């Protein structure tokens, strides 16, 4: 099929909820992708933070083949050794006690919201159901996660929203105004990614943790974008002072296949029993097998040090563009990079694509989410490519 036929087919038959870019992909390898004409692109977006090990990692491909040829789906009525293995790694690395597997980020947040509510029901305080989230946050597109998402444009046209959600600002004052003895839970991204790569201040975190000690609400860290190495640690909350009771995960967890998880503390798990929550495909064996390769790689001695060294190198290069063309200051941590820009990021995304670079946006900010396997040489190519883009805009 020609690109024109592909586009025609898509426009005629696929619901138009995505603004697709004019890029027809053929295949990828590591941080590279190729289009149907054989043009090569450096992928600095990783399928929106999914492809942590880049494209077609041989060990991920082998794990998918191997598991698909054994058993691709069994349902959650039976055991496979995969779930316990992945749950153990995630819990040991995060300080949580139990894992629930699902298929996506929004579904992980739905689970987390249900578990928060069930905890208070289980403790005889069903009246305590309010969940506080933050303006500019993004938690997903299903009803619970959408109600928590602090962006009017995501909710517009789908009302009424699920009740029991309150949005606060990312300030200590707003926390003091919105959190009380009635608060059941707070859901927070350690870095608000989709909302513009915004990092909560240390004062904010301190106040949040003081209020948690005072009122005892449950803290959900949405690590769907920040988790599994992207911000330099296994989890984005690590090193910030945040102490979550639940963690939602997805994106890179399945090695490119759909997989989500909720990690939770034992006292919350104690309020959940068989039949309380479930999903047919959750923890699909092929996705878990692929994801275990990602976790094994993260655990390899020196792997995260290497990621952090390349991220630092990339950031230094990008910082040298500050003041050139539309480029301004950097945001974020590790391989979750926001670049403030003085024009519509869409113009940069298009120009970068012509230069062979795949970049994306987070609102008014340019966002880079390179695969964790990006090399220092590829980081240099990214900076040089963006320098050329600056000259064109």
Ligand X SMILES: Cc1ncc(COP(=O)(O)O)c(C=O)c1O
CB of 24 to ligand X, least distance (A): 23
Nearest in space to 389 (alpha carbons), one of 339, 338, 325:
325
61-65 contact pairs (CB < 8 A, 24+)? 63/255, 63/289, 63/290, 63/292, 63/293, 64/255, 64/257, 64/286, 64/289, 64/290
Minimal CB distance residue for ligand X: 105
Nearer to ligand X, 104 or 233 (CB): 104
Q: Which stretch binds ligand X (CB under 6 A): 6-14, 105-113, 307-315, 352-360?
A: 105-113
Kindly state the tokens that stand for 267.
């006292």
DSSP for 219-246, written as a single string = EEEE-TTTTTTTTSSSSTTTTTT---SE
End-to-end CA distance of the chain: 33
Residue 105, interface with ligand X (CB under 6 A)?
Answer: yes
Query: Using CB under 6 A, which residues numbered 179 to 198 contact ligand X?
Result: 189, 193-194
Residue 225 engages ligand X in binding (rule: CB under 6 A): yes
Token pair 């790569």 is at which residue?
A: 197
Question: Is there binding between residue 378 and ligand X (CB under 6 A)?
Answer: no
Confirm or reject binding of residue 139 to ligand X (CB under 6 A). Answer: yes
The 3-state DSSP class for residue 62 equals helix
Nearer to ligand X, 131 or 379 (CB): 131
Q: Residue 221: name the closest of 123, 147, 141, 133 by CA.
A: 133
3-state SS assignment for residue 220? strand
Q: Is 250 in the site for ligand X (CB under 6 A)?
A: yes
Output the smallest distance, CB 96 to ligand X, in A.
18
- What phi and psi values does residue 148 have, to the nearest 5 degrees? -75, -25
Is residue 47 a contact point for ligand X (CB under 6 A)? no
Smallest gap, in angstroms, from Cβ of residue 52 to ligand X? 14
The CB-of-31 to ligand X minimum distance in angstroms stands at: 20
Cβ distance to ligand X smaller for residue 106 or 233: 106
- Indicate the residue among 149 and 378 with the shorter CB distance to ligand X: 149
Residues near ligand X (CB under 6 A) are 48, 104-106, 109, 138-140, 189, 193-194, 222, 224-225, 250
């Amino acid at each position: 099929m020609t690109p024109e036929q592909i586009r025609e087919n898509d426009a005629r038959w696929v619901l138009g909820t995505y603004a697709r870019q004019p890029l027809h992909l053929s295949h990828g390898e590591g941080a590279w992708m190729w289009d149907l004409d054989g043009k090569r692109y450096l992928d600095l977006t990783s399928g929106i933070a999914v492809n942590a090990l880049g494209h077609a990692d041989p060990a991920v491909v082998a794990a998918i083949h191997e598991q698909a040829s054994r058993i691709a789906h069994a349902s959650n009525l039976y055991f496979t050794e995969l779930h316990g293995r992945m749950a153990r790694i995630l819990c040991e690395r995060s300080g949580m006690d139990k894992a629930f597997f699902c298929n996506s980020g929004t579904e992980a947040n739905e689970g987390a919201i249900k578990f928060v509510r069930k905890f208070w029901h289980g403790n005889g305080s069903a009246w305590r159901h309010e969940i506080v989230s933050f303006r500019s946050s993004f938690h997903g597109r299903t009803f619970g996660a959408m109600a928590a998402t602090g962006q009017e444009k995501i909710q517009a046209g789908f009302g009424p929203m699920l009740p029991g959600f309150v949005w606060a600002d990312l300030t200590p004052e707003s926390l003091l105004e919105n959190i009380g003895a009635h608060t059941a839970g707070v859901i927070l991204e350690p870095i608000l990614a989709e909302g513009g790569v915004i990092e909560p201040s240390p004062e904010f975190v301190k106040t949040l943790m003081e209020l948690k000690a005072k009122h005892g609400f449950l803290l959900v860290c949405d690590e769907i974008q920040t988790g599994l190495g992207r911000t330099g640690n296994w989890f984005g909350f690590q090193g910030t002072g945040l102490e979550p009771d639940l963690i939602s995960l997805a994106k890179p967890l399945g090695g490119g296949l759909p997989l989500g998880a909720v990690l939770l503390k034992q006292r919350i798990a104690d309020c959940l029993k068989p039949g309380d929550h479930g999903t047919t495909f959750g923890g699909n064996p092929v996705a878990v097998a692929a994801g275990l390769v990602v976790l094994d790689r993260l655990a390899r001695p020196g792997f995260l040090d290497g990621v952090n060294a390349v991220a630092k190198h990339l950031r230094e290069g990008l910082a040298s563009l500050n003041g050139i063309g539309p480029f301004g200051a950097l945001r974020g941590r590790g391989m979750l990079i926001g670049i403030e820009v003085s024009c519509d990021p869409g113009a940069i995304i298009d120009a970068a694509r012509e230069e062979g670079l795949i970049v994306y946006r987070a609102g008014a900010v340019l966002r880079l989410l390179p695969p964790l396997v990006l090399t220092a040489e590829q980081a240099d190519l990214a900076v040089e490519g963006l320098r050329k883009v600056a000259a064109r805009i």
